[in-house]
Amino acid sequence: MQTALRYRYIQLNHLIVNYLVFDVDRPGAALAAGDANVATPNLAVINKENQHAHLIYFLQTGVSKFENSSIKALRYLAAIETAYTLKLQADFGYAGLITKNPLNPFWTTWHIHDNLYDLAELADYVDLPKAEKVEKEIIRTGVGRNVDLFDNGRFWAYGAIRNFRKDEIYQDFLKAVLSHLQGLNGLFAAPLPLNEVVSTAKSIAKWTWTHDKEAYDKFINRQHYKLNRANNKRLEIMNDRKQQAIDLKNAGYCNTKIAEILGIKRLQVYRYFNEK
């Protein structure tokens, strides 16, 4: 306890998210949740000089960011984090790794309550944004960085694995995925710690390597299905147009007029009546 008191800022456990922290940079920040009509934070750690604050929410169940963690849970958490950042008008550039130490007397700490929030309870207060509608700068902050890294990394891996199947060396593929993810991570304003990038790379590489043939076969089958459906539709249109041409011919129209009515070339009309 005495050691913790010495530091104004502390680093939270970033591999298991047990807290959501929002950096509200304006006077009266401690009351931002009430102003925004969202769930009340457990703690408000306030700067005595300017009244800016970190608002901290305690989670009932932590969301992990390990190799085998649920990306669905991370997406849900990232959506909630984004929604609260918007409602609280908090700093989107805040990565959430370092927070004001509520035990250090340099700050004023307002201990509001001890309720532990589950994600559904927090989500009840906000409209969750759809990922495709959230600006990229917003997604690339907080927990959203993990989701963004996973999504961009996996789509790259689905294609890149073709270059590694010949030699069947998994470790080479894993190294390539990790290298690609490290490059993506460097684009973030606040890059993720290396161990999180490694965990994400392992998750992507393992799944892609295991399911690649299955995914490829499904892709080929989908392409064949789409091609056959398009060909059948094209044939249906051609047969219908040919029948219209025959009906017009029987009604006494010349080839030129039939082509004009059907919006096709006169040569096509000629072919309709001369096909064997």
- Could you please report the per-residue DSSP string of 135-158? -HHHHTSTTHHHHHHHHHHHHHHH
When pLDDT is cut at 50, 70 and 90, the band that residue 275 belongs to is low
Flag whether pLDDT at 118 surpasses 70. Answer: yes
Q: Whose structure tokens read 């009340």?
A: 40
99, 10 Cβ separation under 8 angstroms? yes
Q: What is the largest CA-CA distance in the chain?
A: 102
| Residue 134 pLDDT exceeds 50 | no
In this structure, the strands spanning 43-46 and 108-111 are antiparallel
- Give the N- to C-terminal CA distance of the chain in Å, as an integer: 94
The CA distance from 225 to 207, in Å, is 26
Question: The sheet that has 16-24: what strands, in order across it?
Answer: 16-24, 53-64, 43-46, 108-111
Q: Given pLDDT bands bounded at 50, 70 and 90, which one contains residue 129? A: low
Query: Which pLDDT value is given to residue 5?
Result: 63
Residue 41 clears pLDDT 80, i.e. is over it: yes
The pLDDT value recorded for residue 121 is 94
CB count within 10 Å of CB 271 equals 12
Percent of the chain with pLDDT over 90: 28
Q: What is the CATH number of domain 146-217?
A: 1.10.340.50
pLDDT of residue 59: 94
Of 140, 123, 122, nearest in space to 131 by CA: 140
The whole-number pLDDT of residue 29 equals: 93
- Boundaries of every domain in the chain: 2-142, 146-217, 221-274
Per-residue pLDDT tens over the stretch 151-200: 888 888 888 887 787 767 888 889 999 988 988 887 776 788 888 899 99
Helix axes 71-88, 144-160, angle to 10 degrees: 140
Quick one: DSSP state of residue 117? B
